[in-house]
Amino acid sequence: MLTRVRTITVQVTDRDRALDFYTKKLGFEKRADQPMGPNQRWIEVAPPGAQTRILLYKATKDAPGAASYQAALARIGKPTDMVLETDDIVGTFAKLKANGVSIIDEPKKQSYGWWGVFADQDGNSYGVHQ
């Protein structure tokens, strides 16, 4: 029986720059950073206390992490289709802005709650809900 989502992959252009962004600007925890074959690392980050982790993956021609190297590169700078949850979206976005995070959509009250969007260092975007 399947019990949870463990890891979701986000393609990045620079592993160290991505790790710095997610840990320092978003406040995520580094859950793993280990070698994974030649010229590859398995780097997982997550919000404190979260079960699901984000794999920060830099595609190579030998290990694209997608159907092809071109498909992996095409994912960079696109919506991740992930939604992060917060209990204070206005405060969260104020902190993100103070940390230099690119805000795509300022938080706004919607019929389903509050919604906003930010992007990481490569333009990969995340929805935020409250």
State the pLDDT at residue 39. 85
State the pLDDT at residue 104. 98
Name every residue whose Cβ is closer than 8 Å to that of residue 52 and which is 6 or more positions away in sequence. 4, 5, 6, 7, 8, 46
**Number of C-alpha atoms within 13 angstroms, CB side, residue 37?**
9
Range(s) of the domain holding residue 27: 1-76
Do residue 1 and residue 59 come from a single domain? yes
Do residue 56 and residue 108 come from a single domain? no
State the pLDDT at residue 81. 96
Do residue 6 and residue 56 come from a single domain? yes
Do residue 41 and residue 53 come from a single domain? yes
Indicate the DSSP class of residue 98: H
Do residue 66 and residue 86 come from a single domain? no
Indicate the DSSP class of residue 28: P
Q: In the structure, what pLDDT confidence band is assigned to residue 37 with cuts at 50, 70 and 90?
A: confident
**In this structure, what CATH number is given to the domain that contains residue 86?**
3.10.180.10
Do residue 70 and residue 82 come from a single domain? no
Do residue 100 and residue 64 come from a single domain? no
Question: What pTM was estimated for this model as a whole?
Answer: 0.94
Q: In the structure, what pLDDT confidence band is assigned to residue 38 with cuts at 50, 70 and 90?
A: confident
- Our count of domains for the chain comes to 2
